[in-house]
């Protein structure tokens, strides 16, 4: 059953005379005549709606299709949280909260000059009990070394004895840099001279690659991040075909990335052949967390054939869902593996000269399908 809703909407005018580059629009008021979207039509389909299931069949899947004159992109907001963008007006969203719940949906249509019209509507959606199963995990129980069945410590630097991005550490396989105790994994970045592959670095740390790889699912990592100017912890994924396809053709998924010189900012991002840093038409997810180094938080990604959706403590923070999916924009069709590491320094930031050591602590890593 398909519900089609037509709206005649109030125009929301963007104000100001400065150069405007927000959300991909670049124009100066007065240089271009304002273009206002009109006649916004929205089609909403809650999957499985019938006389016996007025709120859907329990999958929680809702398909939206919006069209408006003079619109170049559309935005969807769910309960007034982060906006998700669609260039063609089509968008599929999966609600996760079990039971029957009402959700406020806001659709926006944007013109080339950034003018927009918007409307909010409430829909009722039924979600049955979530049936995803835990298929792989490490709970980091016991004390001592890492599980050799779960992890490989990567120590060979690929760039003539160094790591890319101007990083200043050597990764080691020593228990000084990675160990399990009191139910958590500790990855310890330390200031110390260490020589490997013919080069001497001033810092050591660890980089763990999971021996489990998979296609599609939900990854959850509960972690407490290190502190200190120059630390660069990450929870991320790479395509298992990196040896044959190379980077970024293999695809990279950054579940959590943090830089100690910008301490409260947590980043969620992707890297593909079409965009692997600094692209004007691809955003990243940025979340502010003040207690990143004193409290544990759950960093997660949901990966399916259509999208990547990122969460922190079960709150949605960012989505990557390109309209055109090909090998350049969507290399996420093959197995990926999980990486946990703490780098030190980079080509665009330094390390605090008083830095001694800091630890990323991981409570668990879990994969559901």
- Residues marked active site are found at 252, 257
d(CA 329, CA 337): 19
Neighbours of 264 (CB within 10 A): 12
DSSP string, 205-270: E-EEEEEEEESSEEEEEEEE---STTEEEEEEEEETTHHHH-TTTT-EEEEEEE-TTSTTEEEEEE
d(CA 75, CA 95): 17
Of 37, 48, 115, 116, residue with least CA distance to 76: 116
DSSP string, 156-201: --TBTTB-GGG--EEE---TTTEEEETTEEEEEEEEEEEEETTEEE
- In this structure, are residues 222 and 298 in contact, taking their beta carbons and an 8 Å threshold? yes
d(CA 234, CA 284): 15
């Amino acid at each position: 059953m398909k519900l089609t809703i037509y709206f005649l909407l109030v125009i929301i005018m963007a104000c100001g005379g400065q150069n405007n580059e927000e959300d991909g629009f670049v124009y100066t008021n007065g240089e271009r005549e304002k273009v206002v979207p009109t006649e916004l039509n929205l089609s909403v389909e809650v999957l499985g709606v019938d006389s016996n299931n007025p709120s859907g069949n329990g999958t929680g899947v809702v398909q939206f299709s919006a069209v408006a004159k003079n619109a170049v992109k559309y935005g969807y907001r769910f309960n007034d949280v982060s906006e998700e963008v669609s260039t063609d007006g089509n968008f599929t969203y999966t609600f996760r909260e079990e039971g029957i719940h009402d959700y406020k949906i806001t659709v926006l249509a944007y013109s080339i000059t950034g003018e927009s019209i918007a409307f909010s509507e409430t829909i009722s959606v039924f979600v049955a009990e979530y049936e995803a199963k835990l298929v792989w995990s490490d709970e980091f129980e016991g004390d001592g070394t890492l599980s050799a069945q779960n992890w490989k410590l990567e120590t060979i630097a690929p760039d003539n004895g160094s790591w890319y991005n101007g990083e200043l550490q050597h990764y080691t396989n020593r228990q000084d840099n990675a160990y399990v105790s009191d139910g958590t994994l500790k990855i310890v970045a330390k200031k110390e001279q260490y020589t490997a592959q013919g080069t001497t670095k001033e810092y050591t740390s660890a980089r763990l690659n999971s021996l489990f790889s998979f296609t599609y699912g939900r990854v959850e990592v509960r972690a407490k991040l290190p502190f200190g100017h120059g630390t660069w912890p990450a929870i991320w994924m790479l395509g298992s075909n990196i040896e044959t396809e190379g980077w970024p053709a293999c695809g990279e998924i950054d579940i959590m990335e943090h830089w100690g010189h910008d301490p409260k900012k947590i980043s969620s991002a992707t890297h593909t052949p079409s965009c692997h840093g600094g692209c004007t038409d691809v955003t990243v997810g940025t979340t502010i967390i003040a207690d990143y180094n004193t409290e544990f938080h759950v960093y997660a990604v949901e990966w399916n054939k259509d999208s990547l959706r990122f969460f922190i403590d079960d709150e949605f923070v960012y989505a990557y869902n390109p309209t055109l999916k090909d090998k350049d924009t969507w290399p996420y069709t093959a197995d990926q593996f999980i990486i946990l590491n703490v780098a030190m320094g980079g080509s665009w930031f330094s390390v605090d000269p008083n830095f001694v050591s800091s630890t990323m602590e991981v409570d668990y890593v879990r994969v559901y399908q």
